[in-house]
């Protein structure tokens, strides 16, 4: 350190000189051999593969897939059974028509009310069948989305990891570029699949609202018909 005392131009070089010196041997430090030095941790080696881009994209992919929900979607089996019950009720009402020997205004009024009720019963059966079909369609679309996203993670990501690993021979920049390409492709596909599912869900939702309006109309007609039986 005495070598630098009194010369302001060389102030601070003591520390730099001591940093370059190995205190154990008193000799200048040798450059670290990252490839062969066993004391160097694996993650510190310049050529150690770092897949943080694909890791991050995989996490986003998993989060998007979780938006599809859990378990099996409602297939509308209850509505299908309900439609069958209404059809059975319609058959009972048809069989409950007035006896051919019963004639006159009372018989006609009875048959008119019976026909109206049978019509509403048939309408309920048709609406239940229609709504069950919409639910089955939506359930199939959700399952398809899960399959497509599963194929995306099962194919694109493994290929991306292998391609990025192979690109290490050309340096980390090539490795990161490959990861970016595959991550962008996978997440773009995820976004497109979700957009398509959103559009289909909007169409299905509008059709379900039409069915709901049909239920409301039948209920209103049935309510309006009640005073006639009082």
Tens-binned pLDDT, residue by residue, of the chain (230 aa) = 444 444 444 444 444 444 455 556 666 656 555 455 554 444 444 445 578 888 888 888 888 888 777 778 778 888 888 889 989 988 888 888 778 878 888 888 888 888 888 899 999 999 999 999 999 988 888 888 888 888 877 777 788 888 887 787 777 888 888 888 888 888 888 889 888 888 998 999 899 999 999 999 988 888 887 755 44
User: Shortest CA distance to 187 belongs to which of 49, 70, 68, 62?
Assistant: 62
Domains of the chain: 49-229 (1.20.1270)
Q: Give residue 216's pLDDT.
A: 92
Residue with tokens 């000799």: 27
Q: For 134-161, give one letter per residue: b (16+ CB within 10 A) or e.
A: bbbebeebbeebeeebeebbeebbeebb
User: Which pTM value belongs to this model?
Assistant: 0.62
The token duo for 80 is 């299908």
Q: Give residue 31's pLDDT.
A: 56
Q: Give residue 33's pLDDT.
A: 53
- Tell me, letter by letter, the H, E, C secondary structure of 82-126: HHHHHHHHHHHHHHCCCCCCCCCHHHHHHHHHHHHHHHHHHHHHH
Q: Give residue 126's pLDDT.
A: 92
Q: Give residue 37's pLDDT.
A: 53
Helix 52-66 × helix 157-167 angle, to 10°: 170
CB 53 within 8 A of CB 161: no
């Amino acid at each position: 350190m005495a070598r630098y005392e009194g010369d302001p131009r060389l102030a601070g070089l003591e520390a730099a000189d001591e940093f370059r010196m190995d205190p154990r041997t008193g000799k200048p430090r040798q450059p670290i051999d990252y490839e062969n030095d066993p004391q160097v941790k694996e993650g510190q080696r310049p050529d150690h593969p770092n897949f943080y881009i694909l890791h991050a994209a995989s996490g986003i992919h998993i989060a998007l897939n979780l938006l599809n929900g859990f378990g099996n979607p409602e297939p509308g089996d209850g509505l299908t059974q309900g439609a069958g019950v209404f059809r059975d009720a319609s058959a009972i009402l048809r069989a409950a028509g007035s006896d051919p020997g019963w004639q006159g205004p009372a018989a006609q009024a009875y048959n008119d009310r019976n026909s109206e009720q049978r019509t509403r019963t048939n309408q309920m059966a048709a609406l239940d069948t229609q709504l069950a079909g919409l639910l089955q369609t939506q359930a199939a679309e959700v399952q398809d989305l899960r399959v497509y996203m599963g194929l995306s993670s099962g194919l694109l990501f493994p290929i991306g990891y292998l391609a990025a690993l192979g690109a290490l021979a050309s340096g980390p920049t090539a490795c990161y570029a490959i990861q970016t390409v595959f991550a962008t492709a996978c997440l773009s596909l995820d976004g497109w699949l979700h957009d398509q599912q959103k559009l289909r869900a909007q169409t299905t939702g509008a059709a379900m609202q039409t069915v709901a309006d049909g239920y409301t109309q039948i209920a209103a007609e049935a309510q309006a018909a009640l005073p006639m039986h009082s």
